[in-house]
Amino acid sequence: MDSVVSDASAVSDPPATTGIPAQPQAGPPAPAAEDGARDWQLDHTRAPIATKVVVAGGFGVGKTTFVRAVSEITPLQTEALMTQASEETDDLTSTPDKLTTTVAMDFGRITLDDDLVLYVFGTPGQQRFWFMWDDLVRGAIGAVVLADTRRLTDCFPALDYFESCGLPYIVAVNHFEGTELFETEDVREALTVPPHVPIVIMDARKRYSVVESLLAMVSHALEVTPE
């Protein structure tokens, strides 16, 4: 009997681990500078400042193109095909080739500096979707109001909205091919934009032009609300 118990214990007892320190589990390798890692990725005591900006404007002014051109990730888009049901609501005179429209929002991300990451939210342009603006704007440091000189009145609702809520904004004139190029002061006068609000001429299809617009917006936001 004793031998049977002894044999069973020898089989069932696990090997002793007393005194052996726990071994650390291997984690993912840290990024290396030669792999294109940024300074804040190599220094774990630093973290980038993540900020939110909004791109607004009238229907078909180029908000989706703006976000798509600048985003360093695959942008989130909520594009839906336009149908005959919207013919009496959406004016396609200036954008006859437009086949889709944003029904919720556009979203992209861009790293402007080692310590500054912008999350870019594009608002829907049609009036029936304006109820979403309050949620999209919440927490944003500023806004870019896109304007088309062929239909400047389309951006008035966005200008009025940001003026009323006190959010810093700039006006970015999206210059379309084949249209007359106006000076910024002419646009300012036509929109009655205050002198302290920057106005830039840009092309929403070109990344460098969109980046310059975002830099102007961030700079303006810092001047207005430096804290």
Distance CA 109, CA 25 (A): 32
pLDDT at residue 216 greater than cutoff 60: yes
Distance CA 192, CA 153 (A): 11
Residue 47 CA neighbour count, 13 Å, CB half: 3
Question: What is this structure's pTM?
Answer: 0.69
- Name the strands in the sheet holding 49-57, side by side, starting at the edge strand that comes first in the sequence: 76-81, 100-113, 116-122, 49-57, 142-147, 169-174, 199-202
User: 20-24, 47-51, 119-123: which has the minimum mean pLDDT?
Assistant: 20-24
Q: Which residue has the tokens 């052996």?
A: 20
User: 44-53, 66-75, 130-139: which has the minimum mean pLDDT?
Assistant: 44-53
pLDDT at residue 80 greater than cutoff 90: no
Q: What is the pLDDT of residue 6?
A: 46
Average pLDDT, rounded, for the chain: 77
CB 98 within 8 A of CB 92: yes
Q: Mean pLDDT throughout 11-39?
A: 52
pLDDT > 70: what percent of the chain?
63
Nearest to 99, CA basis, from 89, 86, 108: 86
Higher pLDDT, 139 or 103: 139
114: alpha, beta or left? (left if phi > 0; alpha if psi -120 to 50): alpha
